[in-house]
Amino acid sequence: MILKNFAIDELNFDKMGGLLPAVVQDINTKLILMLGFVNKEALQKTIDTGLATFYSRSRKSLWTKGETSGNFIKVIEIATDCDKDSLIFKSIPTGDVCHLGRYSCFEEEKIIDENFIDYLQNFIRLRKKEAPEGSYVKKLFDQKENKIIQKVGEEAVETIIAAKNNNREEIIYETADLIFHLLVMLEIKDINFSEIIEELKKRHKV
């Protein structure tokens, strides 16, 4: 869990009588999913469990999104605004968020293709954290760092061979393998793919 630009003690809970609005954003699609409210206890539980937890103003109690439906919201990063009186939960939903069975309470349509690299990197990060048995990503992270770096090299060579063979399907397949294992290596090095994009932007000349 990353607290991007604040510490809990810096937050201003006084404006709304001990509550802060928390906007839930899909970290992959960048779309807004819902709005809830947190007190210090709900925020701390969110940080401790990694699951979006809110304070119900009607029931006067904490509730974790998904505890009845099973559609939990896994929070990857929390950020606040400049006044330190509202939050963004950058998250990965495990199902539809709206109680009406929609992806978003704001009727946003889920679009994943344009942000699939972000989605994949966040998926790899989540697999690293949860380490489920039988996961290929877990198997990779269980190996030594040099083994993963070596795997990137192997996939690069296979991509080159596919290109030399001039086989379109083979090139696509091997390039996908290369990119996936490259993302795993970047996760080990704590480098976000957005940093690669920024470097490319610096080099780009119109």
**Among 111, 141, 176, residue at a domain's last position:** 111
Residues 77 and 133 in one domain: no
Same domain, 63 and 140: no
pLDDT digits (tens, 9 = 90+) for 148-196: 999 999 999 999 999 999 999 999 999 999 999 999 999 999 998 889 9
pLDDT on residue 150: 95
pTM: 0.63
Q: DSSP 3-state assignment of 90?
A: strand
pLDDT at 179: 95
Mapped onto helix, strand or coil, the DSSP state of residue 32 is strand
Q: Average model confidence (pLDDT) for the chain?
A: 91
Q: Which two tokens stand for residue 202?
A: 């610096």
- CATH number of the CATH domain containing 163: 1.10.287.1080
Between CA 127 and CA 20 the distance in angstroms is 30
**Predicted local distance difference test score (pLDDT) of residue 129:** 84
Q: Are residues 98 and 46 in the same domain?
A: yes
Number of domains in the chain: 2
Same domain, 11 and 80: yes
Domain end, chosen from 89, 111, 133, is at 111
Considering the domain architecture, whether residues 11 and 98 belong to the same structural domain is answered as yes
Read out DSSP for 117-171?
A: HHHHHHHHHHHHHH--TT-HHHHHHHS-HHHHHHHHHHHHHHHHHHHHHT-HHHH
Q: Three-state DSSP class for 177?
A: helix
Do residues 67 and 125 share a domain? no
Distance of alpha carbon 71 from alpha carbon 96, whole angstroms: 6
Same domain, 69 and 122: no
Distance CA 109, CA 152 (A): 35
In a shared domain, residues 99 and 143 = no
Could you say which of 111, 146, 178 is where a domain stops?
Answer: 111
Domain enclosing residue 107, as ranges: 2-111
For residues 15 and 104, membership in a common domain is answered with yes
Q: Do 19 and 93 belong to one domain?
A: yes
Does residue 99 sit in the same domain as residue 43? Answer: yes
Residues 122 and 104 in one domain: no
Q: What is the pLDDT of residues 48-71, one digit of tens each?
A: 999 999 999 999 999 999 999 999
Better-predicted residue by pLDDT, 32 or 117:
32
CATH number, domain of 58, equals: 3.10.20.810
